[in-house]
């Protein structure tokens, strides 16, 4: 994958705010004209540091809890 394709992929992920490979591959096809398989999209996103994980929930720390 070229550098231009990687930049377009990163832009598409940030615009759509989803990390599912199949919809992103379809979006790249419609918006940019790039033909990529979902497997390639998944591999490239993982290589760029995007991972499909939810943020860990952290409890609120109050003054009472800090002591």
Number of domains, the chain: 1
Domain range enclosing 27: 3-48
Say if residue 51's pLDDT is above 80. no
Does residue 59 fall inside a structural domain?
Answer: no
Q: What is the pLDDT of residue 38?
A: 82
Residue 31 has pLDDT above 80, yes or no: no
Whole-angstrom CA distances from 10 to 16, 33, 43, 58, 66 are 10, 15, 13, 28, 40
pLDDT at res. 11: 79
Cα 61–chain centre separation: 30
């Amino acid at each position: 994958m070229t550098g231009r394709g990687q930049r377009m992929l990163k832009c598409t992920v940030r615009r759509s705010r989803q990390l599912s490979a199949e919809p992103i591959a379809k979006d790249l096809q419609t918006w940019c004209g790039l033909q990529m398989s979902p497997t390639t999209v998944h591999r490239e996103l993982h290589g760029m540091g995007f991972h499909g994980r939810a943020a860990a929930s952290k409890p609120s720390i109050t003054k009472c809890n800090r002591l």
